[in-house]
């Protein structure tokens, strides 16, 4: 429904046709049933995720335009010491506030972002003061979300994409969409391959729509052609979206840790007993409060970090969140080449107590980092954003086309979804393989397991109702 379709494969068929299905075609029939039924029921969630994701994909560009005043300095003169910039921000905020993080201006013409904890703001949100690094002029005052530093527009769209602004319960929708997107896409790909192998004359129509077709065939042609061009991207978005979902994401993280491919953590306590956490969805957490930090120490810590390995323009400096903690200097450059090295520094001695280099990440940790950044549209800048936008619109188009195809051949007394009961015609090993795969997928992707069980129950009830209608003595009078 929401992935690669297959013309006649999603066409209506009489319920009795299952009894006539050849045993050798049971797997294609299963894919057809799965693609149709899952797409029909989960399509709305995938549609919302695709449209909100398309909007999110272009938010970095929208953000740089909307907040140009805050992000751009009025002068290109050399920057004054970071301590003076921080002092100006502290004076502006007042009340003896001290920053929980500072992001020095990454390039000439940019502003320094000095972030403060603010109890009036939502969780994981800081108050960001934008300072001209040459003149210490305050250029803006905005809330910023988590480690991504998202400003209000991007944060609002991110929360829409992530949870529909419904909090943790809303996250179920995005996890459901991400989990089922990959399954529906794979089922659709299998149907497309089946048609391609069987077809001789119409193979070209499977790659681009035949404008001579009308009605259902026209819709099916567009569904198949669009689907095959976006299927790889859909699988990518599904896989990367799952990594930061609430339940499946935790399973993926546990699996990576089990095989020794977790993201290396930076030790932040001076006695070496605690570590910093992994990334979070579209952001993360900053400390909600911190001991008083001398602004001059920011300059000293920054200098010490540059002498080690944190030497990119995009970085964040965090003072200790509590006594006994180290300062942290973290690269936040998420476009290619990735620069996310980090060091922990003892503020009293300026000695490096721990370091984590991206070059030393395990392969799966690197792939996870790259996948997240590609998914968020930061890896390759505007080009990345435009590709994501087109991909998301393509997925949304598939959902709409799928429903249009269903409406053309919507269920009636004798016609409807592809025939049920296909496993009755499968060999014993095929049935066993399907059951094992279903259980395994349900364990890794819990929301898929729950909804798949619900689909089976609903399908069984629909089959029971159809048999009752067929067997009614009054039928046909």
Q: Please give the chain's pLDDT, 477 residues, in tens.
A: 444 444 333 333 334 444 444 456 888 888 988 898 888 889 999 999 999 999 999 998 899 999 999 999 998 889 999 999 999 999 999 988 889 999 999 877 899 999 999 989 988 899 999 999 999 999 999 999 988 889 999 999 999 999 999 988 999 999 999 999 999 999 999 999 888 888 776 677 777 877 778 888 888 889 999 999 999 999 999 999 998 888 888 888 888 888 878 888 899 888 755 444 444 444 445 544 455 678 899 999 999 999 988 888 899 999 998 888 999 999 998 888 888 999 999 998 999 999 999 999 999 889 999 999 999 998 998 999 999 999 999 999 999 999 999 888 775 544 455 666 777 788 888 889 999 999 999 999 999 999 988 888 887 887 788 778 776 655 444
pTM, two decimals, is: 0.84
Q: How many residues does the chain have?
A: 477
In this structure, the strands spanning 352-356 and 125-131 are: unpaired
Q: Which two tokens stand for residue 470?
A: 């067929």
**From CA 61, how far away is CA 429, in angstroms rounded?**
52
pLDDT, tens digit, for every residue of 351-385?
999 999 999 999 988 999 999 999 999 899 899 99
CB atoms within 10 A of CB 362: 15
pLDDT, tens digit, for every residue of 283-340?
445 544 455 678 899 999 999 999 988 888 899 999 998 888 999 999 998 888 888 9
């Amino acid at each position: 429904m929401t992935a690669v379709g297959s013309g006649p494969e999603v066409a209506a068929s009489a319920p009795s046709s299952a009894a006539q299905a050849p045993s050798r075609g049971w797997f294609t029939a299963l894919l057809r049933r799965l693609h149709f039924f899952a797409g029909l029921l989960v399509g709305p969630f995938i549609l919302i995720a695709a449209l909100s994701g398309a909007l999110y994909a272009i938010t970095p560009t929208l953000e740089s335009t909307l907040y140009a005043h805050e992000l751009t300095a009025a002068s290109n003169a050399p920057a004054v010491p970071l301590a003076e910039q921080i002092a100006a921000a502290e004076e502006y905020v007042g009340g003896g506030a001290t920053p929980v993080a500072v992001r020095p201006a990454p390039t000439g013409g940019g502003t320094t972002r000095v972030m403060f904890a603010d109890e009036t703001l939502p969780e994981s949100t800081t108050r960001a003061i934008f300072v001209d690094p040459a003149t210490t002029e305050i250029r803006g005052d905005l809330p910023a979300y988590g480690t991504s530093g998202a400003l209000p527009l991007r944060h609002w769209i991110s929360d829409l994409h992530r949870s529909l602004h419904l909090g943790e319960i809303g996250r179920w929708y995005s996890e459901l969409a991400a989990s089922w997107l990959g399954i529906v896409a794979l089922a659709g790909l299998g149907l497309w391959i089946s048609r391609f192998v069987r077809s001789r004359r119409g193979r070209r129509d499977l790659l681009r729509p035949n404008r001579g077709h009308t009605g259902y065939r026209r819709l099916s042609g567009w569904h198949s052609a669009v689907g095959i061009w976006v299927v790889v991207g859909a699988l990518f978005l599904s896989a990367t979206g799952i990594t930061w979902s609430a339940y499946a994401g935790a399973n993926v993280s546990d699996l990576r840790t089990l095989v020794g491919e977790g993201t290396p953590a930076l030790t932040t306590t001076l006695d070496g007993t605690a570590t910093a956490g992994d990334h979070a969805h579209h952001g993360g957490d900053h400390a909600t409060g911190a001991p008083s930090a001398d602004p001059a120490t920011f300059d000293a810590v920054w200098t010490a970090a540059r002498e080690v390995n944190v030497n990119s323009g995009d970085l964040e400096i965090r003072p200790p969140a509590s006594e006994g903690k180290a300062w942290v200097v973290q690269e936040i450059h998420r476009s290619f080449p990735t620069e996310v090295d980090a060091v922990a520094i003892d503020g009293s001695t300026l000695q490096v107590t721990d370091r984590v280099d991206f070059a030393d990440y395990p392969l799966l940790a690197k792939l996870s980092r790259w996948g997240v950044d590609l998914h968020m549209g930061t890896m390759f800048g505007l080009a990345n954003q435009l590709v994501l936008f087109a991909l998301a619109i393509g997925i949304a188009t598939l959902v709409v086309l799928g429903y249009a195809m269903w409406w053309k051949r919507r269920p009636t007394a004798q016609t409807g979804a592809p025939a049920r009961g296909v496993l009755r015609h499968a060999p014993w090993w095929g049935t066993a393989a399907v059951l094992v795969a279903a259980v395994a997928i349900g364990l890794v992707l819990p929301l898929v397991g729950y909804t798949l069980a619900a689909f089976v129950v609903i399908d069984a009830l629909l089959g029971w109702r159809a048999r009752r209608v067929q067997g009614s003595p009054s039928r046909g009078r």
